[in-house]
């Protein structure tokens, strides 16, 4: 049996050049065709895409978030409340967008990160549940008090890049 080549790498840290906007996007018929095809894809995948205007709004909300040492839990809660008001945007996706837009100053958030934090004993089971909840207040408190310090430690320890720190935490604090 032959192994299938990975066609799509699931990393928030590496932009996939296949998603560069076409030069002729300003032509109304091209924009309309792309909009239509996005909805076909969304219907088949059963996941609503975030509209382009929503992505721009999330970027504006992220621009208001200061660097972590100047932030507070309320800062994260406000960002999440505003960003998740955008159609199709959930907390984990918005936090990952914040992480990338801020150049890795903030940690990403997904199931693998939560599992890794549990293995590292950086969060309790109740705190892990908060990181999977839609409650922006409890999410923000745990994210700010537990996840950001674990992220900073992972980044400082050995000078890991954001992608390396992401993988390190996802593996429960193990480099290999």
Cβ-in-10-Å burial (0-12, 13-18, 19+) of 91 comes to buried
| For helices 162-170 and 111-119, angle between their N-to-C axes, nearest 10 degrees | 60
Q: What is the rounded average pLDDT of the residues 122-133?
A: 94
Q: What is the rounded average pLDDT of the residues 99-128?
A: 96
How high is the pLDDT of residue 124?
A: 97
User: How much is the pTM?
Assistant: 0.85
> What is the C-alpha to C-alpha distance for residues 154 and 115, in angstroms, rounded to an integer?
15
> What is the C-alpha to C-alpha distance for residues 133 and 60, in angstroms, rounded to an integer?
24
Domain range list for the chain: 52-170
> What is the C-alpha to C-alpha distance for residues 19 and 2, in angstroms, rounded to an integer?
28
Rg (CA), the chain: 18
Give ∠ CA 117-14-156 in degrees, rounded to 5.
45
How high is the pLDDT of residue 39?
A: 82
Who wins on pLDDT, 24 or 153? 153
Instruction: Please enumerate in sequence order all residues whose Cβ is within 8 A of that of 107, keeping only pairs 6 or more positions apart, or say none.
Output: 95, 99, 113, 143, 147, 148, 150, 151, 165, 166, 169
> What is the C-alpha to C-alpha distance for residues 147 and 156, in angstroms, rounded to an integer?
14
- From the CB of residue 90, how many other CB atoms can be counted at a distance below 10 Å? 16
Question: 3-44: per-residue pLDDT in tens?
Answer: 555 544 567 887 777 777 778 878 889 888 888 888 888 888
């Amino acid at each position: 049996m032959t192994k299938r080549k990975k066609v799509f790498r699931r990393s928030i840290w590496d932009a996939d050049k296949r998603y560069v906007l076409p030069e002729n996007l300003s032509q109304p018929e091209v924009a309309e065709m792309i909009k239509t095809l996005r909805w076909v894809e969304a219907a088949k995948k059963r996941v609503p895409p975030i509209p382009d205007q929503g992505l721009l709004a999330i970027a504006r909300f992220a621009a208001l978030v200061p660097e972590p040492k100047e932030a507070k839990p309320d800062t994260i809660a406000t960002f999440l409340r505003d960003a998740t008001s955008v159609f199709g945007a959930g907390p984990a996706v918005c936090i990952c967008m914040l992480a990338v837009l801020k150049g890795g100053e903030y940690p990403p958030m997904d199931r693998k990160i939560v599992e890794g934090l549990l293995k590292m004993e950086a969060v309790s089971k109740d705190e892990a549940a908060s990181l999977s909840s839609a409650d922006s207040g409890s999410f923000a408190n745990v994210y700010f008090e537990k996840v950001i310090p674990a992220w900073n430690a992972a980044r400082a320890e050995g000078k890991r890049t954001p992608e390396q720190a992401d993988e390190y935490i996802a593996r429960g604090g193990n480099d290999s």
